[in-house]
Structure 1
Amino acid sequence: MTLRKTTENKVAQDLDIPVISIRRLLSGETTDPRISTLKAIADYFKVNIDQLISMNSETAHFGVMTQTKPLFIPVLDWDSAKSIDSIDLGQWPEWIPVTIGKNETIGNRAFALESRPSMYPRFQQGTIFIIDPTLTAMDGDLVLIKLRENNDLTLRELFIDPPQWQLQPLHQGSEMLKFSKEEHEILGVVFLTLFYNRKMRPLHTEV
């Protein structure tokens, strides 16, 4: 455990967590760890969960979050997402495990949003969008748009027909928008869509 010159036994003792749990987590044997345990370890090393995940991948001293093991993404509500840049995601209470391919990467500011009822029938209630603010929007992407006039958020499908960028609605009841940097801000691109048969229940960092 080179992140901080210590041992599994010392970490287990300091955190009052069984050493076998620490060992399984750090070795990667546990592929779906408790979020509260991850948070406790992150706090112990004075990093947030995203930084802990990055350290795991880079040092190979932690088996969590490598290859197809789950990433933990913060789940925001639509109001919180309006001010994503000012949120300390390391202290956010609600997270969801997400599995991506071993050759895929996702930005450390990625977050999740649950679908709105108005997105039905294209997206069932409980659909989760994983949004990455670091991705460059491309033709055909689903993008999260902030309307500068009132700070409202809308999820739109981007169609690029140079020189115009069109923001198509997800249902026929809304009008198409012509993208303008003066009127619209792209907060992120949908990296992954998760479909659930019922309302999603995110994990909490506290027991």
Structure 2
Amino acid sequence: MIFDLDVFNSNIKHLMEREGIGSVTELSKKVRLQQSTLHRLLTGEVKDPKYTTLKSLADYFHVSPIDLIERDLQASAAQHAPGVTGELHSLVLHKVPVLGNTQLGHSGYWSDMQYPVGNGDGFLRWPSCDRDVYALKCVGDSMMPRIKEGEFVIVEPNQNFHPGDEVLVVTSSGEVMVKTFLFKRDGFYHLLPVNEDHAPIRLPVEEVTQMQYVAGIAKSSLWHP
């Protein structure tokens, strides 16, 4: 993550105004951070803030830590405001095919059933604008509590992804995992485990054979034979 002080301060100001928070003292109480810690962060005295500190702030405002320090949230909110013109996509309730099982995470592999597009081991009903949307059934407990055994990962292969989005990653060795995409730099993908208590990881670009947008997690009750 790249800590941009100007972006961070602008975002904190915007978010405080949005939530009606009038002072740093009030914010520190709500987030349960020491006021001195927050003050040093806002003045730039802290050059490399702890991830846990940024996450506490981001969680309170319901944004991602990456967006908080790298993205102009005020401009983004304006772009997505009601009435703003732009390209519209129609969501269609698809019969999403289940194309295999996966344990997800390190040492997890995708049991690819090699079904043609549109077919699979049953299906789920899910709204999507991607005609190639598919699902993978999760087995094991390596992604608990984010993804439980028997639930399904919904993948939209034609959808672009951005920093902070969850992605399905398949490596050249066949390993399959769901991670939060951070950025690509110097020949490496930088990724964050879904369990944010774990440290970020990086994978060489040449070892990644697929990286696709994860649209959501579906409950097992949505499966149909």
Normalized against structure 1, the TM-score is what?
0.50
Give CA deviations for 1:42-69 in whole Å, capped at 9, x if unaligned. xxxxxxxxxxxxxxxxxxxxxxxxx666
Identity among equivalent positions (%) equals 17
Distance 1:78 1:124, change over 3 A: closer
Report the number of matched residues: 128
Aligned to 2:142: 118
Aligned to 1:143: 167
Aligned to 2:126: 98
Aligned to 2:96: 73
Q: Report 1 or 2 for greater relative contact order, CA contacts < 8 Å, sequence distance ≥ 6.
A: 1
SS at match of 2:142: helix
**How far apart in 2 are the matches of 1:93 and 1:175?**
35
**How far apart in 1 are the matches of 2:94 and 2:193?**
30
Q: In the TM superposition, what is the alpha-carbon distance from 1:162 to its structure 2 partner? A: 4.9
Q: What value does the CA root-mean-square deviation take over the aligned residues? A: 3.1
Q: Which amino acid aligns with 2:166?
A: L
Does 1:155 find its partner at 2:183? no
* 8 Å contact kept, 1:144–1:155: yes
Aligned to 1:202: 223
Structure 1 moving runs of 4+ over 4 Å: 79-84, 161-164, 172-175
Distance 1:184 1:124, change over 3 A: same
Aligned to 2:40: none
**How far apart in 2 are the matches of 1:158 and 1:68?**
24
* 8 Å contact kept, 1:82–1:146: no
Distance 1:142 1:82, change over 3 A: farther
Aligned to 1:185: 209
Distance 1:166 1:138, change over 3 A: same
Normalized against structure 2, the TM-score is what?
0.47
Bigger strand share: 2
Structure 1: any 5+ residue segments left out of the alignment? 1-66
SS at match of 1:182: helix
Distance 1:92 1:122, change over 3 A: closer
Aligned residue runs from structure 1 range 16-31, under 5 A: none
Distance 1:202 1:175, change over 3 A: same
